[in-house]
Structure formats: C-alpha cells, structure tokens
Amino acid sequence: MNSNNLLVKKEKDLLYVTFPAFDKTGLVAHCFTTKLGGVSEGYFSTLNLGFNRGDANNNVEQNYKLVCDAIDIDYNKLVFSHQVHEDKIYVVSSSDAGKGGIHGTDIKNMDALITNAINIPLVTLYADCVPIFLLDPVKKAIGIAHAGWRGTVKHIGKKTVQKMIETYQSNPKDILAGIAPSIGFCCFEVSEDVAEEFKKKFTKEQCKEIIEEKSNNKYMVDLWKANKFTLLEAGLEEDNITVTDLCTKCNSDIFFSHRATDGKRGSLAAIMALQD
C-alpha cells in the first residue's frame, strides 16, 4: 500500500494510516484502520471493528484493544455514535467516555462527533464511506464526520466545522482536515437519481468536477472532491486539507469495502483523541 499523503504505520501485524499534518502537531493520537492485524475470522478477517456485523464481540473487543495499544489511547474511554447517514453532530464531553462498543451507545442518529475533552477518543465506522478528520490546533478541539453519499450531499463536513466554530469559537482558517481512505471516483458509480441529488446541492461548476456521466445512465461521483468543496466553503484553507489517494474498493485486500464484497465485510474505524 503506497500513499503520497498518508503515513502508513505498522505495529506487529497491525496496519493503519495517519495524517502527517496531524502527527506534526503532537496534539492528537489518531488513525484510520485497515483490515489487517486483528483476530477476527472469515470475511471479518482480521481487524473488524464493527460490533453489529455478526462477528464475535470478544473478537471485536480484542481488535479495538490492539488498535488502542498501538496508538496509545484508553480503550475504556472510546465514544461511538449510532450512524444513520444524516448530518447531525454530537458534542462529546468527558461524561460520555466509554459510550459504545460492546455496551452500546445512547448517542443515537449522529454521524459526526466533536470534542475538546482531553483523552476522550472519538470513533466512527466505515466500509467505503468518507471519513473526515478535523483538528483545531489553536482552540484544541477535534471532530470526525462520517460522510456517505447522503452525508456528503448534506454537507456534513461543512456543518461539522460550523459546529466547532459555534461550540469552541474555532477559526476555520486554523482547522486541519483529513479525508481518509474511502471509495474513490474510480469506483463510485451511481444511478441518475443519486447524481441528481448532488446536482441540487453543489454548483454547476462544482458538479463538472464531481460528476462524470457514463453511457449507460450511470454516473461516476468523486466524493473526495465533493467533501473538499464543502470544507472550503466552511472556510478552511486549501493547504490545510489532506485528501486521500487510496480507494477502499480498489484496495479491498487492505480495506473493508461494502461494494467490493456485496456487504460481506467488517468495519474500519476512524479514531482520534486529544492528548494531554
């Protein structure tokens, strides 16, 4: 796995990626996982991080502990939300520590999490959708947004930035963003009705860069570029946005991909915590 803008890290058999721009701040522990280095079996092999996929809970729990040990965060403080492909954002406080995982979470119908609490790791799950990492190194606040095509159309990245501005008085020009591995323009084929949803929410000029019509009433959509547009609209500096160059479907030997496996797969995780 080669990437020009992500740092690939290995801890024994565990393989994961980080954003160099985030690493350089020294403020966060973070990663986006691969499917390699865990204990799960079958089509969950091996680093499945989804508790609701049908895998044995003790396997998933062990997988999380492996990841947490590798990036030096507390497994018992992980905070999850119940993701529903919408655009709602939850403000996590230290009292939310430990919500999720094997015990479930009462943070329902939220596709983005933000916090300024120290050592409280945020977790969102993926298998082709777009993970958006956000870090304000000045106000010391973080966020992760889960952007499937519906969340992308709803501009969840922009809305998460706006929530950080509202909650933590963040200046968007200070915020670093990372768009992690997800399905690429090369593989994200959609029907006309989905393409029309993008045309309603993005400008004509943006759509020229986001959407390409094929000959069979199908369209290719660039979710990476679409989400970058929403972050720029939120006020982020282009130089502060790192966009992935790894497609999960093209690299389904390394990442879980819903499309590559017709849904027979585990889950990847985006994890980030402010460090003291």
- The pLDDT tens digits for 37-57 are 999 999 999 999 999 899 999
Ramachandran region, residue 121 (left: φ > 0; alpha: ψ -120 to 50; beta: rest): beta
pTM of the model: 0.98
Residue 115 lies in a domain: yes
Residue 80 lies in a domain: yes
Tell whether the model's pLDDT for residue 1 goes beyond 80: no
How many independent structural domains does the chain possess? Answer: 1
Q: What stretches of 43-145 show up as alpha helix (H) in DSSP?
A: 57-71
Q: Mean pLDDT score of the chain, rounded to an integer?
A: 97
Give 166-209 pLDDT, tens digit per residue: 999 999 999 999 999 999 999 999 999 999 999 999 999 999 99
Residue 118 lies in a domain: yes
The residue ranges of DSSP E strands in 19-68, in sequence order, are 28-33
Residue 172 lies in a domain: yes
Residue 119 lies in a domain: yes
pLDDT of residue 178: 98
DSSP string, 142-192: EEEEEE-HHHHHTTHHHHHHHHHHHHH---GGG-EEEE-SB--TTT-EEEH
Residue 229 lies in a domain: no
Tell whether the model's pLDDT for residue 124 goes beyond 90: yes
Residue 225 lies in a domain: no
Domain extent, residue 39, equals 7-184+240-274
Residue 222 lies in a domain: no
CATH of the domain at 68: 3.60.140.10
